[in-house]
Structure 1
Amino acid sequence: MSKLLHISGSPRGTDAESLRVAEVFLDAYRDAHPGDTIEHWDLWDGSLPGFAVGAKAKMTVFSGAEPQGEEGEAWNAARRVFERFDAADRLLFSLPMWNHSVPYVVKQFIDVVSQPGWVFGFDAEKGYTGLLAGRGKKAAVLSTSAVWAPGLPPSFGTNFMSPYFTDWLHWTGIDDVTEIGFHPTVTGDWDAARADVDARARELAKGF
């Protein structure tokens, strides 16, 4: 059996297209994988710690020392977030586009879990190594936008979200990444776009 963790980046509840399509995906996943465990992590639920002190702890770790006191508490709080993320071997991310990129709470999640010895190793000559590689982890990234869409001019925005987020996953060592996009534009046919993305989500979920 596998564990699927759905990490959502929208605070809009039932009004969010990203969450709606995620539920379509998860319904199909449940049917295809009845023995698997599914957990939802709403990044807006207050579970992400601040990282001002954690950033100092990170540099302490980089120097080869062990964080102590306030730094140690911040490091342990970040570790708990990482362990929740790392406990899943199937990851579904539902991400709305905000200002050409990910919502700030998604960036906060990335900055909290992306720590030396957890997500990456580093060598001064060879550079970074993704520590989540070779463990059978798979990710599906569902991205949505209401204005930007492929082929539109720059006045409709630029998609920094998908390249950035997918590159981060690859950097961690997760190479098996599937992308699902819902980008109907303001004047598009939303019903037809919903039908298309729902069909793709259901199909991908079966083999995820």
Structure 2
Amino acid sequence: MPKLLHISASPRGENSDSLRIARTFTDAYRDAHESDEIEHWDLWDGSVPDFAAGARAKMTVFGGGEPQGEEAAAWAAARRAFERFASAERLLFSVPMWNGSVPYVLKQLIDVVSQPGWIFGVDPEKGYSHLLEGRGTRVAVVYTSAVWGPGLGPEFGSDFQSTYFTDWLRWTGLTDISEIRFHPMLTGDRDETRRQAEAHARELAKNF
């Protein structure tokens, strides 16, 4: 059964713009793909493992060794997170802007699953290989912000949110990426901007 995995990076619940738009997407997706499974992974639920010992395990693997003890347990937890991430044919991310970039819990997930042999390989002459490419996985990302917006000057901040996250997706080999944006800014028409974002989400979900 095909699966859509919604990975959410906002802890704000009903007050979250990114979650609200993502729910619009998943509702429309469900209507259009009745037999597909939809799973929600809330990154704030404690399921993303700590990676202090995992970072040591990563270097052990890089060196050709096998993690042992605490490192082995951390490596196994990271592998479970990766398998959950990689299990879906369709991925939806809801990503609010935090201080110009992504919430730290999303960066934690990225650091946990971005491991040699899982997401990337590396050759001393050719550089990185992108191990998730060629799977046919499609990705949709809901980007939201409150102050920064397209066309505003640097006094309103910078977009390290989508630039960073899109670069990471492409680095993994996931290149079929669609964006849904909600940037009402401080002086914009918030309700109309939301309606436009939700309309885009519904339309995209129908054929996703």
Aligned residue pairs, count: 208
Letter in 2 for 1:106: L
Q: Which residue of 1 aligns with 2:172?
A: 172
Q: Which residue of 1 aligns with 2:96?
A: 96
Q: Which residue of 2 aligns with 1:87?
A: 87
Q: What is the identity percentage for the equivalent residue pairs of Structure 1 and Structure 2?
A: 69
Distance 1:140 1:62 in 2: 32
- Asked if 1:60 is matched to 2:31, the reply is no
CA shift, 1:146, in A, is 0.6
Unpaired runs of at least 5, structure 2: none
Distance 2:194 2:161 in 1: 20
Distance 2:106 2:126 in 1: 28
Distance 1:80 1:190 in 2: 39
CA shift, 1:94, in A, is 0.1
Q: Which residue of 2 aligns with 1:25?
A: 25
Q: Which residue of 2 aligns with 1:199?
A: 199
SS in 1 for 2:143: strand
CA shift, 1:14, in A, is 0.5
CA shift, 1:153, in A, is 1.1
Per-residue CA distance 1:39-65 (angstroms, 9 max, x = gap): 000000001111111000000000011
After TM superposition, list the pairs within 5 Å mapping 1:57-206 onto structure 2. Answer: 57-206=57-206
Unpaired runs of at least 5, structure 1: none
Letter in 1 for 2:136: G
Letter in 2 for 1:158: S
SS in 1 for 2:186: coil
After TM superposition, list the pairs within 5 Å mapping 1:2-17 onto structure 2. Answer: 2-17=2-17
Q: Which residue of 1 aligns with 2:40?
A: 40
Distance 1:145 1:118 in 2: 31
Distance 1:103 1:203 in 2: 27
CA shift, 1:175, in A, is 1.0
SS in 2 for 1:152: coil
TM-score scaled by structure 1? Answer: 0.99
| Runs of 4+, deviation exceeding 6 Å | none
Distance 2:169 2:180 in 1: 15
